[in-house]
A and B are shown apart, each in its own frame.
Chain A
Amino acid sequence: MAENILELHDLKKHFPTTSGGLFSRRKGVVKAVDGVSLSIGVGETVGLVGESGCGKTTAGRTVMKLYEPTDGKIIFQGEDISHYSRKQMMPFRSQMQMIFQDPFASLNPRHTVGTIVGASYDIHGIKPAGGVENAVRDLLERVGLNPEHINRFPHEFSGGQRQRIGIARAIALRPKLIVADEPVSALDVSIQAQVVNLLDDLQQEFGLSYLFVAHDLSVVQHISDRVVVMYLGKVMESAPTESLFAKPRHPYTKALLSAVPIPDPRLERTRERILLQGDLPSPMNPPAGCVFNTRCWKVQDKCRSVVPEPVQIAPNHTLACHFPE
């Protein structure tokens, strides 16, 4: 098998929580990411899905070393970067880039598009052949924006166009890996499809690898080669996209898939739903045993006390459940 661009081994990111007030002190930890393992091959897309607060963004940001991992390993192109300092990270920065959910908040409103997209060249002291401005124009054109708009400001663009600006910025230095955190979640469906297609094209053209973070399973299914399903900081199941969607083995994966409404009324009328009880427990105080046990419809005593370890059940298919489907 070709070398993986990224490997996570039992990655953990815990945040200390303090009680407020004058005598604030350590009170506990949020185990935002609590043992995530995955690998991404060259040119591959791995989708990271799960409900709000399950740790997707934290995982993505830790991969980017925007957070220092609490435990576990981040291997980028065979090199263990888990504890690299800011300075040691410098050569890697240009090779891994991030795209954010909110195209409004992630672009500096006082900078022109040219400045925003061109900034990476300056930061990394790279002089593109033909000059920065030409390079930026090419990038704008590549992501479907009018290069003549290089001197405009972010507020002069629509949501979808702003997301294209974010993408142009991310691909400027020809990175190998892009961590995309809900890149299309804020966009309307008709615009969402444009951006998804653009990400597809760029992957083909530049051999990019994506860690694609999203809560929308239909988009993830469309774009990913493999999918990792998280719940309260832990990986419940991870598998090649086709087998995960055709035959989910974890009760949570199954419930999650059955909750996604399908735009096909005839199908909807006959579809069986697994309705989960209640809401997600607080990540400050996750259930003992299997973290999913409070909402699982297959729960048994063992689930309330023993943590199910991830087990490989087929090539590329791991599962953490005592009583899988």
Chain B
Amino acid sequence: MSTFLEVKNLHVTFPTEDGAVLASNNVSYSVALGETLAIVGESGSGKSVANLAVMGLHNPHRTQISGEAILHLPEGPIDVLSAAPETVRRLRGKAMSMIFQDPMSALHPFYTIGNQIAEAWALYNEGSKEDGIKRAVEMLDLVGIPDAAKRVHEYPHQFSGGMRQRVMIAMALVNNPSLLIADEPTTALDVTVQSQILRLLADLQKEFNMAVILITHDLGVVAEVADRVSVMYSGRIVESAAIDEIFYNSTHPYTRGLLNSIPRVDNHGKGTRLRAIPGQPPSLISVPKGCAFAARCEFISHVPGGLCIASNPDLLEKAPDHYSRCHLTGAQVIDIAAKNLAHQDNGAK
């Protein structure tokens, strides 16, 4: 697979009255054509901020951005972070598109669905208004809106939440982008509608061989669609690996904590106890000197000499193509986790 987007050492800072918010702290990730990268993390961990930077959607006057975000276009690579705003604007909607959690806020209430899709199409295509509407009908068909030729003339409020998200997808894909960034695209939807939308995204990705970045906090959704996963915590990527490595061989205490804390419909009935992570994430204004997870980490006692508090671990390759940011080795984390689990099981009996 060929890498399409490569984000390297991305820093995004918002100067605020209370101090500088370091929302994206040396973040690197990449995604290839035909691949789905899931970015997971709790709210406020910096998932949206990093990807908005790639899309060039931050206000330049109120944001400091550094690093690289390279798009490998057929005509050659281009760094969207250093490119002229005009160039980025031309790439947006064409080479790369983004959809958001709340489709209503991204749709204009006073224009028909068809006009809005046609307008997105007309940015990059020559053609009459009718051509645009024809293309809109095609796209609505593609995303599974029944009776598209008729509904193309309706307004957003006449569509249900699930249908609006389909419209957003239609609009994002109207110019055949190579990269689709979907920011919590199903978080506002009911589960039965969520599974329709996830299926749709997967089908479209296959059909058009797109690179997809799916931003979510739901590890179930990740398990359903991702090829690779990057886990974010407090503005940093703390673990990054192929999906099965993350779920079955995680080498980071935070990822393990997350996986342990979710109840699952297929086990953990009443009477069992959830293994919550104590405490809460640190503020992004006063970033701790050491590991950002240290205050909540149940592995910290295995690291000698207060190292976790004193210094921030680097994101290192702990196993082939498996990166994590922890002072412990991958084997140590796996080993300690197994012992903790055995200990807990004994305790439960």
Contacts and interface: CB of A to CB of B under 8 A. Distances in A.
A258 B199 CA distance: 13
Contacts of B192: 51, 255-256, 259, 276, 295
B269 A221 contact: yes
B82 interface: no
Chain A, interface residues (CB within 8 Å), range: 35 or more
Nearest to B262: A189
A137 B76 CA distance: 64
Given A197-B274, A261-B195, A263-B219, A221 B280 contact: no
Interface stretch (B62-70, B133-141, B158-166): B158-166
Contacts of A188: 42-43, 217
Interface in A264-278: 264-268, 273, 275-276, 278
Nearest to B272: A222
A191 B276 CA distance: 7
Given A190-B257, A190-B258, A279-B193, A197 B265 contact: no
B341 interface: no
| Most chain B C-beta atoms within 10 Å of own C-beta, residue among A45, A221, A261, A278 | A261
Contacts of A223: 270
A311 interface: no
Nearest to A277: B196
A266 B246 CA distance: 12
Contacts of B9: none
Contacts of B273: 197, 200
B263 interface: yes
Interface in A203-225: 215, 217-219, 221-225
Interface string B183-199: 00000001111111011
A102 B121 CA distance: 39
Interface residues of B, number: 49
B277 A221 contact: no
Nearest to B278: A194
B341 to A, nearest CB: 16
A121 interface: no
14 contacts: A51-B190, A188-B42, A189-B262, A190-B258, A190-B276, A191-B276, A218-B262, A221-B268, A222-B274, A242-B269, A255-B192, A262-B220, A262-B223, A263-B262
Interface of B: 42-43, 146, 160-163, 190-196, 198-199, 217-224, 226, 243-244, 247-248, 257-259, 261-266, 268-270, 272-278, 280
Considering the complex of A and B, which 7 residue pairs feature the smallest CB-CB distances, nearest first? A261-B220, A193-B276, A222-B263, A193-B261, A51-B190, A193-B274, A188-B42
Given A219-B263, A221-B268, 8 more contacts: A158-B280, A259-B194, A261-B195, A265-B224, A265-B226, A268-B223, A275-B195, A276-B196
